Structure formats: structure tokens, C-alpha cells
Structure 1
Amino acid sequence: MNMNIITLDNENIEKEHICCLMSQKDSGYVDQKKSWLKDRMNEGLTFKKMDVRGKVFIEYIPLKNAWYPIDGDEYMFIDCLWVSGKYKGEGNSSILLDECIKDTKSRGLKGLAILSSDKKKGYMADKKFLTYKGFIKCDEAEPYFELMYLPFEENVEPPKFRDSVKTPKTGNNGFTLYYTAQCPFTLKYSPLIEEEAKKNNIPLKSVKIDNLEKAKDAKSPYTSYSVFYKDEFITHEILTVKAFNDLAGKYVNKK
């Protein structure tokens, strides 16, 4: 199936579908995501999607401006490469990645970087696909995060995680939830978790990462959403209220 590629900009972003499957009643969270995208576009972010209403897109930004605790000014960072549903198995991931590679080279950068994991995890790129496309693991952080990179030339220093994710310290004795506006679902579910914790006296500190400096000093490689208990990383998967209560039952005693 041949599909056109659309590049979002300040002119078309309001009318274009941004590959999120939120219902119409939750459109306000999508609007917040679009606002976040527009701000990042001023910092070099690019969002390319196939001309369909589905999750077939790539989002990337120069690593120096990426909201991740990763160093490597000579690289482009891929926030998200997502192809799902009936659009898988048609080469669309390679098409979108090739678009990113071409754009990155035209900007004079030396390679790409992206988050992955040894075993497939939600919201992160498939390591098998990345390895097939030539990506190499260059760093890792507990419990399962791997930093992959694709250099365009030899003898380029690879990107690396910042020390803040190697030995994370939250400074909190209960749960700590970190999130950004990069995903509409974090904007929806994070306040629900906050309300549930308050209602049931579950110790929770919620931290919205709202600028580049905070993101670069983040405790987890996955800044869009990460949950800790004390200094232990728990998950980067977005929690429902039920899932949060299950965690609370495991880690703390409700008052």
C-alpha cells in the first residue's frame, strides 16, 4: 500500500491526526500534546506520519534538545517510531526511518539515537528491528533500558546516559511519578493516580517534567512516564487506577 508522508508544522498540526487513539471526549489531552509538539518544533523537532488515521509515524529531535537524560550533541534522537495494526509488515518502519536518516544527514548531524530494551517493551522501539537496520547498543541503565545508536561515520563518540539514571535518587520514601506532556495518555492518567493516592493516603509525589533542564536531569531514561517506589524504578508503563492500587498493595500498607 503506497501512502503519502505528511510532515507536521504550525500550519497543519491543528487539523492533522497525530496518531493517538484517544476518544473525542479526551481531545483536550491531544490538544496539550499538540501544544507540546509546537513548542518542540521551534527546537528542531520533526513529526512525520503516513496519511492515515492510525499509528504510523516517527517523531525526532536533535539530541541536545531532546527531553531525555542523554548526552550526545552530534546526534538526532528518535522520540518515537511506531507502526501498528494493519500497517505493520509493509515496510513502513523502514520508510519512516529512512526519512529520518535523510533529514538528519541534511542537518549535518553524525547519527541517530533511540531508546530500546533487550526484551520487547511497550512504547519503545523493537531491538531486533533496530539491530537489523544497523543500530548498536552503546549504553544501558537498570532495569532494562538500552541506548542504541546508528553512526553515519567511523570514530564518532557514541551518546550516553547521564549519571542521574545510573544511580537514581528520588528523595522520596513513597511512590514518585514523573511524566511529561509528550503523551496524551500520561496527561489523562497521572491526575487520576494523584487523586487515588490522596483518597487512600498512599504516599505519592507527582512531578511533571515541564522543561529541558528537568528532563536532562531525570531519574529515568523514559521521561514521558516513570514510576519509582523510594529509589527503585517500578515501571514506564502508564498505570490505570486499578494497576496503581495493585502496586500500592504490593509496596505499602494503606492507612
Structure 2
Amino acid sequence: MEATFTNITQENITQEHLCCIIRSKKPHPGVEAKRQWLSARIKEGHIFRKLNAKSVVFIEYAPLETAWVPITGDNYYYIYCLWVSGEYKGKGYGKMLMEYCLDDARKKGKSGVCMIGAKKQKAWLSDQAFAGKYGFQTVDTTPDGYELLALSFDGTSPRFTQNAKKQHIGNQELTIYYDIQCPFIPQKIETIKQYCETNHIPLSLNQVDTLQKAKELPCVFNNWGVFYKGKFETVNLLDAAGIQRILNK
């Protein structure tokens, strides 16, 4: 049977499964927050394309000008997520989704497509080795090894903002910048709050709830960024063990 995909629209967003591992018959706070965030982004040209199955097989990308990341560039698409998980791996779905995005970019006269990577693959970033097969190359870096990967159609390149490369803040306590694009984030925030309260760990939470805040962030960011003692630590979502590893450095 040929694979079929659906793009999320204003008309189908309330009915369609949003492709994350979360499974619940009842409304899930993180999933519903994601629906609200995504609904506001669709009119900006944000694309969420998914396999027609209750699976983790999807791509999510947007015009760089309206993408909630501290990256600048003219006429690019930015890929937030390209994910194929579990039994759906190895069936060519990732290839289909990537080629759809690249074809869409070319048809719309984009200058190219970009995404965040790192010298060492990060758990919550899309597979940069896979992107490399399509010609994505490193066009900008941060001092601690994060990379901006781009496939340029016209020789131009996007860049991290200068603020994103600072990766330092004045606040010394555990500090997290986050938005609600990922359905896992609301639950992670509550878990971290409870853990820090129980263990008397000072915590500062900063919700990124506007495009301007996202573009002005002092670190690389896909939907999450963590600082401790003023230093940027990771874009990975944290559990209790992750918090302790950072605090114990």
C-alpha cells in the first residue's frame, strides 16, 4: 500500500493526530498546547506534514523569517523536526518527507533550507547525518559545537544571531528558556519545577511566547535551552538525572 501523508491545516487541526509519542484517549495538556501554538503558525506558512497513521513520522518547517529560532537569513525554510520512529524506520518515510520540503522550497523560490545540528548529534535534534546526504553543509557555528546546517540553492547562507553565540546570561541559577511547540514541554516543566522545589534548587523559567523573544535569545534554540551558572548547557529536554548532571559539573 502506498504511503499517504497529510498536511495540518486550520480545517483539520482539531482532528488530526500530531505524531508524537504521547498516547492518551483524553485531551493531553501538551498536545492541546501544541495545537494552539501550531494553529497560530499555519497562517505564517508553517508546515506540519505527517504520515496518515498514529505514528511518529512527520516533518515540521517554517519560513525562517517567522521561525521561532535565533537565526537570521533571507528567504529560507527552517526545519524544526524531521522524525521517523519505531517500526516506521527503514521504510523511506524520512526520504519522502525531506524531499517534500526541498521540493516545496524550490517551487516557492526559496534560497534554501536550514536546520540546527551539532558536531556530536544531540538527542532532541533531527539526524544531521541524514541531512548531510542531501547536501546540507555547516554554514555557522557556536563556540561549544552547535552548527547551523544549510542547503543553499543560490549561494546565500543564513546565520546564528550574534546574541545566540553569546551563550551566557547574568543569572547564575538553573535557567530554562522554552516554548510550547513540543507536546512534551509542559509536562517536563512541571516535573522540573517539582524536582527543584523538593530539592531546594533555585530555578528560573522563561517562556518564549513571541517571535521577537525567540529571535533575541542568548543561545541556540529549537524549543528549549538550559543555562547554569550563567553558561549555556544544552538544547536537550531534562529529567531529574539530567538536572543533577548539570548541577554536579
Equivalent runs, 1:94-173 vs 2, <5 Å: 94-153=95-154, 156-173=155-172
Do the aligned residues in 1 keep the contact of 2:29 with 2:186 (CA within 8 Å)? no
Which secondary structure state, in structure 2, belongs to the residue aligned with residue 129 of structure 1?
A: helix
Match of 1:14 in 2: 14
Match of 2:225 in 1: 226
CA deviation profile, 1:55-93 (whole Å, cap 9, x unmatched): 111001000000000001220111111111122222211
Match of 1:85 in 2: 86
Match of 2:183 in 1: 184
Q: Distance in 1 between matches of 2:246 and 2:70?
A: 26
CA deviation profile, 1:182-216 (whole Å, cap 9, x unmatched): 11111111132123323433121110100100000
Q: For 1:183, give the aligned amino acid.
A: C
Q: For 2:109, give the aligned amino acid.
A: G
- CA deviation after TM superposition for structure 1 residue 121, in Å: 1.6
Q: For 2:118, give the aligned amino acid.
A: S
- CA deviation after TM superposition for structure 1 residue 176, in Å: 0.6
CA deviation profile, 1:90-148 (whole Å, cap 9, x unmatched): 22111111111121222221110111122222121222211111111101114231111
**Structure 1: gaps of 5 or more residues:** none
53-62 or 229-238, larger mean C-alpha shift: 229-238
52-61 or 20-29, larger mean C-alpha shift: 20-29
Q: Distance in 1 between matches of 2:128 and 2:81?
A: 13
- CA deviation after TM superposition for structure 1 residue 246, in Å: 4.8
| CA shift in 2, pair 1:142/1:2, >3 Å | farther
The root-mean-square deviation of aligned C-alpha atoms, in Å, is 1.7
| CA shift in 2, pair 1:70/1:139, >3 Å | same
| CA shift in 2, pair 1:140/1:246, >3 Å | closer
Do the aligned residues in 2 keep the contact of 1:64 with 1:72 (CA within 8 Å)? yes
Q: Distance in 2 between matches of 1:184 and 1:135?
A: 28
- CA deviation after TM superposition for structure 1 residue 170, in Å: 1.9
Q: For 1:234, give the aligned amino acid.
A: E
Match of 1:58 in 2: 59
Q: For 1:19, give the aligned amino acid.
A: C
Match of 2:23 in 1: 23
Q: For 2:10, give the aligned amino acid.
A: N
| CA shift in 2, pair 1:93/1:223, >3 Å | closer
Q: For 1:17, give the aligned amino acid.
A: H
Q: Distance in 1 between matches of 2:85 and 2:41?
A: 25
Do the aligned residues in 2 keep the contact of 1:75 with 1:110 (CA within 8 Å)? yes
- CA deviation after TM superposition for structure 1 residue 23, in Å: 3.4
- CA deviation after TM superposition for structure 1 residue 225, in Å: 1.3
**Structure 2: gaps of 5 or more residues:** none
- CA deviation after TM superposition for structure 1 residue 43, in Å: 1.1
Do the aligned residues in 2 keep the contact of 1:215 with 1:223 (CA within 8 Å)? no
Do the aligned residues in 2 keep the contact of 1:118 with 1:127 (CA within 8 Å)? no
- CA deviation after TM superposition for structure 1 residue 238, in Å: 1.2
Q: Which has the higher contact order (CA 8 A, sep 6+)?
A: 2
| CA shift in 2, pair 1:243/1:125, >3 Å | closer
Q: For 1:130, give the aligned amino acid.
A: A
Q: Distance in 2 between matches of 1:72 and 1:246?
A: 35
Q: For 2:14, give the aligned amino acid.
A: E
Q: Distance in 2 between matches of 1:81 and 1:45?
A: 14
- CA deviation after TM superposition for structure 1 residue 226, in Å: 1.5
Q: Distance in 1 between matches of 2:242 and 2:79?
A: 29
Q: Distance in 2 between matches of 1:105 and 1:73?
A: 14
Which secondary structure state, in structure 1, belongs to the residue aligned with residue 166 of structure 2?
A: coil
Under a length normalisation based on structure 1, what TM-score does the superposition of the two structures give?
0.91
Q: Distance in 2 between matches of 1:189 and 1:215?
A: 20
Q: Distance in 2 between matches of 1:42 and 1:191?
A: 30
